[in-house]
Structures are given as C-alpha cells and as structure tokens.
Amino acid sequence: MITVRNYIYTISTGNTSYVMSVPDGKNSEHLHYGRRIMTDDQTAYALAEKYNNPYGNAIQGTGNMTLDNICLEFSNAGTGDYRTLPLILKREDGCISTRFYFVDSFLYEGLYRDRDKTGMPYAKEGDASAEAGRPWTLEMIYRNRTEDTKDDDGTLELRLVYTAFEDCDVITRRTVLQNDTGVTYVIEDISSMMLDMQGTDYVLKTFDGMWTRERHAHDKVLESGIYETGSVHGISSNVHNPFIMLSDIDTTEDHGDCYAFNLIYSGNHRERVEVSEYGKVRILTGINPQGFEYRLKPGESFHTPEAVMTYSDKGFNGASHNMHKFVTDHIIPQQFCRALRPILINNWEATYFDFNRRKLINLAKDAARLGIELFVLDDGWFGRRNDDTTSLGDWYVNEKKLGGSLKSLTDEIRALGLKFGIWVEPEMISKKSRLYEAHPDWAVSVPGMEDYLGRNQYNLDYTIPEVRDYIVDILTRLLKSADISYVKWDMNRPFTDLYSKSGTYPGEFAHRYVLGLYDVMKRLTDAFPDVLFEGCSAGGSRFDLGILSFMPQIWTSDDTDANERMKIQAGTSYGYPASTMGAHVSASPNHQTLRETTLETRFDVASMGVLGYELDLTRLSHAERKIIADQVRFYKAHRVLMQTGEFTRVYNRHGRVIWQITDEKAEHAVALLYREYSEPNKSDDILFANGLIEDAVYKVRVKESKIPVKTFGNLINMVSPVHIKEEGVLQAIIGKAYTMDGETEEYTVTGAVLMHAGIKLNSRFIGTGLGEGTRVMGDHSARLYTIDKMG
Ligand code: GLA
C-alpha cells in the first residue's frame, strides 16, 4: 500500500515502511526505511532533520538546510551535497550542475506504466489473487529548473519510480530521465536507486569470487569512507554479484536489522556505500559508470535497470527469505514458479568433447535405469567442434559425430523414457567458424588493435539487429528440429573491448549489448514457453535477476566439489532461492579440486539445489548404481519440498554447517548437516532446526546411507567377519559390490526442542570400534535428516 498525504509519502509492505517528504517544496527528504510504522504529520515532523542551527561552513539550502547533512531521495550536482551523486548529466557546454526539483507525484495500482518501453526485464506482478493484492507504484516527478526553462516548466524531467510488493516486503526502484529540450545531454553516471539512512555502524556483506569459486560471502565493517563493489566485465560477473546486504554490527542469521539490495540487470553494475562525516550512510546501485556515456538526444528517455530492496528485522535469513519469495513469485517466468524440475544427467564431465552416439546412448540408458529424467547433451555437438577452438556461431548439427540427425538421437533418447536437452552458447563466435568467415564484423573487437581472446573466442555483437535475428532464427530452427525440452544457455567469456564495428556509440555499447541480449532471450523464451532454460556463464559468472527473469535456473558453478559447493551455494542462498541453483553430483576425485568425497555426501549437497548428475554413469560399480538409484528415489519422494520449500541457513560454526528446507506450513523439512573436518573426540554433532511450530511433534530420521568398505582402509578387518587384505583383490571386489549400512537414527521431539535445544546425534567413528548406530563421517561429509510433523 502507498499513501500520499500532505507531501508525506508512505510506501508500506507487510512488515516494512518507506517514508519520505518534500520539506522545502524542492528536495525529497528520506524519513524512514525499516519496520512498519504509521505516519501522520506529527510523525513526519519527528522523523525530519531539524535545522534550527546552521552548520559551520556548510553550503546552505532552503533556510538553514544543509543538503550534505540530510537523507535525500535524489541529489543534484552543484548544490553542496558532497557525497556520491546519483546522476552526472553533462550539458552541451560541459556543465554538470542540475536543479531537479520536485513538481508532482503519481500513484497507481500495478507495475510501472512504461515498463515495456525499458527494453529490460522487470519484476512481474505475481499472483493477482494473492491476499496481499496487486503491487502499487509511486512516481515522484522532478524537473530541472533553470532560467531558460522558467520555474517548474522544465523540459528535462526526472522520475523516481517506486513499486511496492507487499507479499515479500520488497520495494523496487528505478530512475527515468526524459529529455524534452532541443539539445543532447550526456549521462555519465545514473543510479537506479539512492538510499540515505541514519547511522554509521553497518556491516556490508558482498558476494565475491572467481571461476569455480563464485559468490563467497565477505563482510566489511564500515567506517567513514566509500565502499564499492561491481563489475566491468560486461556481465554481472563471478567477481562481485550485484546482490549486497547491509546490516547492523550485531545482526545474526536470525536476529537484527538487515537490508538487502539487488539489480534486475546482467551487465556492468556498481554498488556503492558511503559513510558520511555527518553520521549517515548512502547506498547507490545501478549501471557501472566506467566506460558508460549515454547520449540522451532530444525527445528520448533513459530508463535505468530496476533495483530491488528489502528490509527484515529477522536477520540475514529474514532478508534472504524475502528475496527468495520475490525471485520465485516476481522474477522467474511465471509458468516455472512452482513447477517441479527434472533430475538431469549432463554429459560434460562424463565425456567432455569426446563422445559419439554409442557413448551418449549408453550414458542415457544407464541414466534411465537409475530413474534420471532428462538427458542433456553439452558442448561439442555442432559445427566441427571437438575442442574449444572452433565452431561457435555454427549451430548446425554435426551428424557424423552424432551418428545421425539430432531428431534421430532425440527420438532414441526419448524412447528410453528420458527428456532431451541441449547446450548452446549463442553470444559467441569462434574465429574458426563459417559464421566468422561470412561476418568477421560481427565479432567484438577494435579494428587496428590487438585482439584479446577468452577461451579462444569473441563476443558476438548483439547491438547489431541482424546478429540478433540470425541467432533467433537459427536457434528457433534448432529447437523445432527435434523434441527438445531444456536448453543450457552458456556464455563463457567476459567482454574486453567495448566496441561495435556497426557504429554503436562505444559509451553505450555495454548497455546496448545487454538490451540486445534481453531482446534475443525474450523472443526465444516467448516462442518456447515450455522449454526449461538454464542460464550458465562458465559456471556462475552471470547469476543475476536479469537472467532469472527469462531462465528459472542457473548453473551455479563449474566447481562440483561438495566442499566448495557448500561455500558457493551458501553465498548464493543469501540472495537467491535454492530452486534457482543447478547442482550436480560429479565424479570423485573431483575434476576441479581432485578432492575425494563419498557419493552420499556429493548427493546430500547437490540435493539442496536443483539436482542433476554429471559423471560417467557407465563406469560405476554395482554398489554405486544402487546408491544413486536410492538417491533418485529419495529426491523424487521429497522433491516438492526440496524444490519449492524455503531455504534457511541454520548453523555455521567450527566447520559444522546445517541448512534446512522447510515447507510453507512448517510440517515437513529436510536438513543437511555438513562437517568440513573429522575431529576426533570433539563434541558430537547437534542437530538444530529453524522455523518449525514450537509445540508440534516431529519425527526426525536420518536418510538411509551406505558406507563404502574402502572408507575403512586397513581397518576393514575390524568390521568384516572374514579377513580381507587391504588393497587386495578381494577388497576391490567387495568394495564394488558391497557397502555397509550407515547408522539409523530416529527421534520424536517437539519443534521447540529442535529449535532451542537441538538433538545430540549418535557418536561418530573415532577409531575405537564400530558400534551399532556409529556415525561414520570423515572429512567433508554430510547427512540428510527428514523432519515430519506427526498427526
Ligand atoms: C562452460 C560451462 C560448463 C560446460 C562447458 C562446455 O564451462 O560452465 O558447464 O558446459 O562450458 O564447454
């Protein structure tokens, strides 16, 4: 709900309020963002900055008002606010001062009225019949008041747009600039949102990393100064995600104030947090200004990407839950909101480029036998691609390699009872390709300068309309040529040169590329609404709300090691629901880290995302097949909960981690307990839970698991009735055919016990025997527990 009264603007969601006013008839003062409050004139007066005394040598605004020391909604250049400005707009003569003053506001039910003119994805309405009702939008209109434009009859208009999503405590923001003057202005920097708040004692949480190490959470305790994160990779990047959090110093996972921000955008972004000398904090998010220079011609308007913000007084989990709900209900394509996702087998880590029809079919046959539902053919099926040096752009099937047409392969796989999916990388062009031979000018590079390649390839210039048409056309033909129900959309190299040979203005290139990308994604996903698209960018280099607007899930990381995934999936979970994270069980030793982990642990961790397998199933032992078949059965039995439930970070101390996925009514949950290291004789594990019903009674059971006999090394004889020689033939044979049962544990306790006391689990194996119920957990090992309300 949004109310406008006496120049007091109150945007309310279920649990939050955002309040502003226009104290001097020109500037908008930000009064409050946080817990929900009622506002009237007296409250607004109480919340406003008082200026009964001028501040030293500060620049004066209206009366004693010092714009440098006031929480503002927007701030003009050249008015004495020395914090980072939300807009640097250059006039023809180079002047950057502006005087955007408030003139009017519009309030209406529904989303921003010009959303379809932005060329970018935006938050969707969601279910109109939901109790919370439809979103509401408020536009605050400002005009640049100068002598030649007279009073507020300005012809350069700025709109700050706020949309309230009551159901998930999210408010979105965007800035719109309309040039109705006769001259071109240059936008050098424009934020999607600016938020000023009181106080300086904040912690900034960012999600940073690299290839195979994406989105690790990092905290910075803020002091006076500027803190910045962002990307200039041309994509949202694996280095710094656009999602950030700002919390109190003593905020924990479940308690305390937490603000979170994100951007519905997939290109260069910047998040800047400035702690001012006056004891205030300013947060700005939007397009990264590095290399950005947008020429706003007469009659044109510029829309920033939509920014997203939420507040919770229930700690990091509270803010994460708001974001999860928002992503599920208002970002991902609505037909996939709560649609169950298939368990897939991907051939990449099983075969890499080295496959033929026989290998693929054998893999598919084994997958079908184990209960897997979707077969994904990864890189290497097109052009002359047998390594990563060639053929991107030539999306023609290599029938020789596939042993026939794509349709014949798909039909054969369908006949096994599996659906079929395919990998593409449509934003790229290899120098060795038919496409490059025909259109060298479609590759992004600067003529006359040395080219810098990534993975031997160039970016394809999506600012050129013919390029976009070519891609839409060739992929449409591909998707129609066979029964394809899933597409993995990859993007393996970041941008270097921001240059188009077609004449796109270089300062606009990076942004226009993203607009071009959205155009292609929209056309294709609209044309194939039932195809499940999974975003990918060398793993998770483009895990953002822009991509999720078209593709309901994203390949989280090329790192499939369970231990590394614990950090990557935890970091990702702060801003994104588990149902968006592709997570696969791969081989051991792991191909990225060479770390060995048990098949059970690999599954337990992957099952906390959208489950898939990515290993050569044809080489598995009988024992391993049995384990996978059991895992698939377990996942299917709990899939509704695991894919549509709420993900919570319950515990993380001393290398012990607990995560939980809970259904809406808190009747069923699955908890993951993870141990980074096996520590002999340290206290035993305690299972805590979160968000259950205090006095309801729950049955807690450990998921059945199997222990490979080789786990015991030469201790095998301690547990085996017949003598077995370690590393001997017998051990190898037994190891392949036989596993021991893991512990069984079962408890009946109230929600209160699980939440406030915790269950002391059975002792772990510590070298002094293997009793009944001993929990055998080495380094990097996990367990799953089901928690079900009784009665
Ligand atoms: C990227 C992806 C991988 C795989 C390869 C294929 O690295 O992240 O999952 O698809 O490309 O080349």
Query: What does the pLDDT look like over 638-651, one tens digit per residue?
Result: 999 999 999 999 99
> Angle, to 10 degrees, between the axis of helix 357-370 and the axis of helix 622-637?
60
Q: What is the pLDDT of residue 719?
A: 67
| pLDDT per position as a tens digit, 515-530 | 999 999 999 999 999 9
The partner residues of 658 in beta bridges, in order of sequence, read 651, 673
Q: Mean pLDDT score of the chain, rounded to an integer?
A: 95
* Residue 492, ligand 1, Cβ within 6 A: yes
> Parallel, antiparallel, or unpaired for β 419-424 and 486-489?
parallel
- Residue 527 has a CB neighbour count (10 Å cut-off) of 13
User: What token pair was written down for 333?
Assistant: 């394509």
* Residue 539, ligand 1, Cβ within 6 A: yes
Q: What is the pLDDT of residue 61?
A: 82
| pLDDT per position as a tens digit, 21-59 | 999 899 999 999 999 999 888 999 999 999 877 778 888
User: What token pair was written down for 444?
Assistant: 């992004």
| pLDDT per position as a tens digit, 7-18 | 999 999 999 999
Average pLDDT over residues 159-185: 97
Could you tell me where the DSSP H helices lie in 382-501? 399-402, 406-415, 434-438, 465-481
Residue 711 to residues 177, 719, 726, 778: CA-CA distances in angstroms?
Answer: 64, 11, 11, 9
Q: Which long-range contacts (CB under 8 A, 24 or more apart) does 675-680 make?
A: 675/777, 675/779, 675/780, 675/781, 675/782, 676/563, 676/566, 676/779, 676/780, 677/779, 677/780, 678/764, 678/777, 678/778, 678/779, 678/781, 679/655, 680/766, 680/767
| Rounded Cα gap, residues 785 and 788, in angstroms | 10
* Residue 436, ligand 1, Cβ within 6 A: no
- Residue 154 above 90 pLDDT? no
User: What token pair was written down for 725?
Assistant: 């020689």
* Residue 555, ligand 1, Cβ within 6 A: yes
- Where does the pLDDT of residue 707 fall: very low under 50, low under 70, confident under 90, or very high at 90 and above? confident
| Rounded Cα gap, residues 475 and 393, in angstroms | 10
Residue of the CA atom closest to atom 2 of ligand 1: 538
**Residues 95 and 148 sit within 8 Å (Cβ to Cβ):** no
Residue positions annotated with a catalytic role: 490, 558
Going from the Cα of 379 to the center of ligand 1, the distance in angstroms, rounded, reads 7
| Rounded Cα gap, residues 642 and 554, in angstroms | 17
Which amino acid is residue 480, in one-letter code?
A: K
| pLDDT per position as a tens digit, 478-509 | 999 999 999 999 999 999 999 999 999 999 99
Contacts of 563 (CB under 8 A, 6+ apart): 593, 595, 597, 676, 780
Average pLDDT over residues 310-338: 97
Pocket test for ligand 1, best of 238, 486, 492 (most atoms within 8 A of CB): 492
3-state secondary structure of 178: strand
| Rounded Cα gap, residues 394 and 372, in angstroms | 30
Element at 365 (helix H, strand E):
helix 357-370
Instruction: State CA 524 to chain mean position distance.
Output: 21
Average pLDDT over residues 447-464: 97
- Residue 433 above 70 pLDDT? yes
Q: Is the pTM of this model over 0.75?
A: yes
C-alpha triplet 74, 79, 80: angle, nearest 5°: 105
Residues in the chain: 791
Average pLDDT over residues 252-272: 98
Could you tell me where the DSSP H helices lie in 12-62? 41-47
> Which atom belonging to ligand 1 lies closest to the Cα atom of 539?
8
